[in-house]
Amino acid sequence: MLSLFSPNDYTLIAVILGLPLLGAFVNGVWGKRLGKDAVRLMALTAVGVSFVASAAAFIGLWQLTELHKGEHVKLAWTAWEWMHTTGGTQNASVPIEVRFSIDQLSGVMMLVVTGVGFLIHLYATSYMADDDGFARFFAYMNLFIFAMLVLILGDNLPLLFVGWEGVGLCSYLLIGFWYENAANAAAGKKAFIANRIGDFGLLCAMFLLVHYTGALDWNGIANGAASLVHPGEQWRVHVWPLGGGQYTGMLHFLQPKNPVTISAATAVGLALLLGCTGKSAQIPLYVWLPDAMAGPTPVSALIHAATMVTAGVYLICRMSFVFVLSPFTMMVIAIVGAATALLAATIALAQNDIKKVLAYSTISQLGFMFLGVGVGAFTAGFFHVFTHAFFKACLFLCAGSVIHAMHSRIHDGDKSQDIRNMGGLRKWMPLTHWTFAAATAAIIGLPFTSGFFSKDEILYRAFVDHTVNPRAGEGLLAKAGVYEPPAWLGPALYWVALAAATLTAFYMCRLYFVTFWGEFRGWTIGRPSLLAKQELAHDHEGEHEHHEDLATPGYPPHESPWQMTVPLILLAAFSVFAGWLNPGFHIPKQPMDHWLEPVFQAASEGAVLFAHGNDAKWAEAMTWPLALGGLSAFAVGTAVAYWMYVVRRGEPARRIAEAFPALYRLVLDKWRVDELYENTVVAAVDSLAETAAAVDKTIVDGILARLTSLVVAAAGTILRAFQNGVVHVYAAMMVLGLAAVGWFFAVPHPNATVADAGNDDYVITAAPGLGYAYRWDADGDGKFEKDAFGGDTTLKLHIEPGKSQNVRLEVKNSFGLVAGKTIHVERPKPPAEQSASL
């Protein structure tokens, strides 16, 4: 593989990217005409071949890594040079190219995206088979794969941003896929707007980076990263007073004693974090993800479980070498992650919609990933991304399979997803059941499944790790104050994450037991023989009975076709066994860790220090106690769920809900965060918009538009009176003009120009005219130089500086009319002498 393309011009990347784009284009433009079979073929081929190419590229990368023995290698391909900007300390020109690169990190991600993407495409060909928008769906899905690949493979931040926006766009299009329903369209809008708020952060980070480090591609930023933590005052970002000015005059009271500054690394980190919270649905921008369940289930699986929402974590991993320069930011990331994990887990406890539970579960697991990268365990966090892709996609697809089965008789969208209408499905949907069970086992951390390894690693590292600036001890930086997270942070994070893990186990098992065990609550299942007779009797009725009487016996929920179950099986297998790629527990030679080591080298160089008197030995000793904690979380959660929902058939849950109705309502309403946003932020924007609308209507429309039109109309009415069509009136108007012109010619016009002839002399020249004769009075005393009117048109004057003189000119024309004008001539004083310079 390596021999086919050179590492710096790895054109296979063009194939990986180009095929989904082609698929999107073909399906989008000609999809309807081509028909469902062709669309299916195009979409599957596009993603499938892209996956094969990705695998080939990955093998090539592997070979290259072997060749270079553990360096951070890349397979790169430059498409074209996009633009230039200026940046850096010397305001040098920074080129931005459309350049894609596969390194260890993006290689893994690329395989996940194309592989899981392919499976989900296959699933969707069956799930969406009855939909009218089949071609449109696959066009959007392929476009999404393309955008996601651009995001992952982009070699610089602007290109990543292109992919970032692209996946946001596809998310919007796919969430609102059934756009005739206004709620779906609103959900799409919400997703896009929340993402947009985050994108602002990403843009600010880009601006800061190009200014401080003078580059926007990964290599360049890494090279210039030192300038992000420069202790010099002018290198820091001023927070208060904002921008580094001074509050004077009236605002003097706002001036702080010591200006508050943060390092550029912190500023960049926090800005990037804002972007990541938007894309990866963390606090405060997670509100769009539950609403996004309005889209079709394959969309939820692909975008909101496996790939798009992990883009934020990917970005943090990508820019790990920047984040570690700011321990404060790392702390914030970890806290945000842990808080989100716990919050989402609590909300998921009370939800009754199967997809909503999975959505909150996704948010919670993303919180875990953020926690992992926030404490410096980049590999652990990324590994959780990797495993999460498998088991979450599997869970969503199983949910889709269940919904598909429920849809056969329950046609209402909301009711078919309500777990209260399900139950005992394991009897009729064995494949779905076992795959769901496998994925659930992974997510709750059943020992030796993938989720167990990745989650436990995160919990462990949260407790023991301590991120400090790697260059803290060096030279100048020793003088600069570097933020050190408090000692209790690690354990605090651990306990919060543990609580979240327990809740995860609980609600996932709840979901599993309620859906697949117990009695079926959807409709009455009839005996097969009875049903066959019914079928014959009701043969003449139409196939689509929209008013189903669910009391009449019907067929049991059916298993899904092979296109849906094969991906389920594959994903379940991965979710169970993929964990062995990075088992943790200090087992040497962990594949994933080793593979990703070169990428996180800069981050791990001294970034993980055990401070406060702890050291590596202590960390190793803590391994088993912490693992026990994780195991107990799993055990407790599962046991309680089993007891509550299988043994006691949900009775305790109902009693708790009745005992604390307000609390239950609050949790069911997602802690009313959406309503909070609605009433504060959205209401503020709305009132601003309404003010603007009122101003527009009254001032702009009312006054400006109406007034000007009235003025014009009035002027028109006046002018129209002159146009009465009678020639005489027009002639009279002409006479008026003629008389004015005649007057102008009959009357003499005295005019003169004053020219400076130098040496304090002035020359005054009178304006010429037909038959004019001139008479000058040079000193304004009333006596003319020559009493007779003559032909001399110029007069010379000499005026001392600072003095002035009035000159009178009289003009007589051939008709004998005389007119005069007084001209005031002044010589200004020269500027005062310069005082001797000090």
Partner 1 sequence: MIPIEHYVILSAILFLLGGIGFLVRRNTLVTLMSIEVMLNAANLALVAFNRSRTWHPVVSGAPGQSHTGQVFAFFIIAAEAAEVAVGLAIVLSMYRLRRTVRSDEADLLKN
Partner 2 sequence: MTTLGLVYFYACAVAAVLGALGVVVSKNPIRGAMGLLLLILSVAGLFLALHAQFLAAIQLIVYAGAIVVLFLFVIMLLGPSAATPNDRRGLVPRVFGGGLFALAGIGGIGLVVRAWLAANHPLPMPSVDPSFGGIDAFGSVLFADALVPFEVSSALLMVAVVGAVAVARGRQGEHTMSKSELEIARSKTVSTELARPRGSERSGVFSHEIDEAKESAS
Q: What angle do CA 662, 667, 668 make, to 5 degrees?
A: 95
Window 720 to 759, contacts with partner 1 (CB under 8 A): 720, 723-728, 731-732, 735
Give the shortest CB-810-to-partner 2 separation in angstroms.
16
CA gap 149, 109 in Å, rounded: 9
Nearer to partner 1, 232 or 716 (CB): 716
CB neighbours of residue 563 within 10 Å = 18
Window 425 to 484, contacts with partner 1 (CB under 8 A): none
Give the shortest CB-812-to-partner 2 separation in angstroms.
10
Nearer to partner 1, 90 or 717 (CB): 717
Nearer to partner 1, 260 or 732 (CB): 732
Nearer to partner 2, 624 or 815 (CB): 815
* Residue 724 token pair: 């009465």
Q: Please state the three-class secondary structure of 602-657 as a single string.
A: HHHCCCECCCCCCCHHHHHHCHHHHHHHHHHHHHHHHHHHHHHHHHCCCHHHHHHH
Give the shortest CB-733-to-partner 1 separation in angstroms.
11
Nearer to partner 2, 707 or 757 (CB): 707
Site for partner 2 (CB under 8 A): which residue of 663, 692, 729, 757? Answer: 729
Nearer to partner 1, 661 or 725 (CB): 725
Give the shortest CB-181-to-partner 2 separation in angstroms.
43
Given partner 1, partner 2, none, residue 183, with its beta carbon under 5 to 8 Å by kind, binds: none
Give the three-state DSSP class for 766. Answer: strand
CA gap 508, 522 in Å, rounded: 21
Phi, psi of 241 (to 5 degrees): -70, 140
Q: What distance lies between CA 567 and its chain's CA centroid?
A: 30
* Residue 68 token pair: 């270079």
Number of residues that bind partner 1 (CB under 8 A): 10
Task: Taking each helix axis as running N to C, give the angle between helix 264-279 and helix 327-350, from 0 to 180 degrees, rounded to the nearest 10.
Answer: 20
Which x/- pattern over 143-182 shows residues binding partner 2 (rule: CB under 8 A)? ----------------------------------------
Nearer to partner 1, 532 or 736 (CB): 736
Give the shortest CB-697-to-partner 2 separation in angstroms.
19
Give the shortest CB-131-to-partner 2 separation in angstroms.
52
Given partner 2, partner 1, none, residue 14, with its beta carbon under 5 to 8 Å by kind, binds: none
Given partner 2, partner 1, none, residue 688, with its beta carbon under 5 to 8 Å by kind, binds: none
Which x/- pattern over 810-829 shows residues binding partner 2 (rule: CB under 8 A)? ----xxxx------------
Site for partner 2 (CB under 8 A): which residue of 732, 755, 763, 819? Answer: 732
- Amino acid letter for position 165: E
Window 681 to 720, contacts with partner 1 (CB under 8 A): 720
Nearer to partner 1, 716 or 830 (CB): 716
Given partner 2, partner 1, none, residue 527, with its beta carbon under 5 to 8 Å by kind, binds: none
Nearer to partner 1, 616 or 734 (CB): 734
Could you give the dihedral angle defined by the CA atoms of residues 578, 582, 585 and 590, in that order, rounded to the nearest 10 degrees?
Answer: 140
Site for partner 2 (CB under 8 A): which residue of 662, 728, 768, 835? Answer: 728
* Residue 714 token pair: 């009035």
Give the shortest CB-812-to-partner 1 separation in angstroms.
19
* Residue 430 token pair: 């064995």
SS3 content of the chain, % helix, strand, coil (to 5): 65, 10, 30
Which x/- pattern over 733-772 shows residues binding partner 2 (rule: CB under 8 A)? x-xx-xx--xx--x--------------------------
Given partner 2, partner 1, none, residue 742, with its beta carbon under 5 to 8 Å by kind, binds: partner 2
Give the shortest CB-732-to-partner 1 separation in angstroms.
6
Select from 559, 554, 558, 557 the least CA-distant residue to 526.
554
Given partner 2, partner 1, none, residue 4, with its beta carbon under 5 to 8 Å by kind, binds: none
Which x/- pattern over 708-727 shows residues binding partner 2 (rule: CB under 8 A)? -----x--xx--x-----x-
Give the shortest CB-737-to-partner 2 separation in angstroms.
10
Pair 140, 173: CB distance under 8 Å: yes
Nearer to partner 2, 639 or 705 (CB): 705
Given partner 2, partner 1, none, residue 182, with its beta carbon under 5 to 8 Å by kind, binds: none
Give the shortest CB-732-to-partner 2 separation in angstroms.
3
Give the shortest CB-729-to-partner 1 separation in angstroms.
9
Q: Please state the three-class secondary structure of 544-611 as a single string.
A: CCCCCCCCCCECCCCCCCHHHHHHHHHHHHHHHHHHHHCCCCCCCCCHHHHHHCCCCHHHHCCCECCC
Give the shortest CB-769-to-partner 2 separation in angstroms.
15
Nearer to partner 1, 694 or 735 (CB): 735
CA distances to 177, 610, 802 from 613, rounded to whole Å, are 56, 7, 87
CA atoms within 13 A on the CB side of 550: 15
Nearer to partner 1, 479 or 720 (CB): 720
Give the shortest CB-721-to-partner 1 separation in angstroms.
9
Pair 288, 273: CB distance under 8 Å: no
Pair 556, 428: CB distance under 8 Å: yes
Task: Tell the burial category of 415 from Cβ atoms under 10 Å away from its Cβ (0-12, 13-18, 19+).
Answer: middle
CA gap 495, 630 in Å, rounded: 10
Given partner 2, partner 1, none, residue 727, with its beta carbon under 5 to 8 Å by kind, binds: partner 1
Query: Any bridge partners for residue 766, and if so which?
Result: 752
Task: Tell the burial category of 679 from Cβ atoms under 10 Å away from its Cβ (0-12, 13-18, 19+).
Answer: exposed
CA gap 212, 204 in Å, rounded: 12
Given partner 2, partner 1, none, residue 725, with its beta carbon under 5 to 8 Å by kind, binds: partner 1
CA gap 360, 358 in Å, rounded: 5
Give the shortest CB-768-to-partner 2 separation in angstroms.
19
594-622 per-residue burial string, b: 16 or more CB within 10 A, e: under 16:
ebbebbbebbbeebbbbeeeeeeeebeee
CA gap 52, 19 in Å, rounded: 11
With a CB cutoff of 8 Å and minimum separation 6, the contacts of 810 are 750, 774, 775, 776, 777, 784, 789, 818, 819, 820
Nearer to partner 2, 260 or 746 (CB): 746
Nearer to partner 1, 536 or 718 (CB): 718
Q: What distance lies between CA 738 and its chain's CA centroid?
A: 72
Nearer to partner 2, 245 or 742 (CB): 742
Given partner 1, partner 2, none, residue 746, with its beta carbon under 5 to 8 Å by kind, binds: partner 2
* Residue 345 token pair: 């887990």
CA gap 117, 545 in Å, rounded: 35
Choices 346-354, 383-391, 497-505, 729-737; region in contact with partner 2 by CB under 8 A: 729-737
* Residue 729 token pair: 């009136």
Give the shortest CB-32-to-partner 1 separation in angstroms.
58
Number of residues that bind partner 2 (CB under 8 A): 21
Select from 763, 742, 740 the least CA-distant residue to 753.
763
Pair 298, 351: CB distance under 8 Å: no
What's the count of helices (H) and strands (E) in the chain, helices before strands? 32, 10
Give the shortest CB-723-to-partner 2 separation in angstroms.
10
Give the shortest CB-746-to-partner 2 separation in angstroms.
6
Task: Give the interface with partner 1 as residue ranges (CB under 8 A).
Answer: 720, 723-728, 731-732, 735
Task: Give the interface with partner 2 as residue ranges (CB under 8 A).
Answer: 713, 716-717, 720, 726, 728-729, 731-733, 735-736, 738-739, 742-743, 746, 814-817
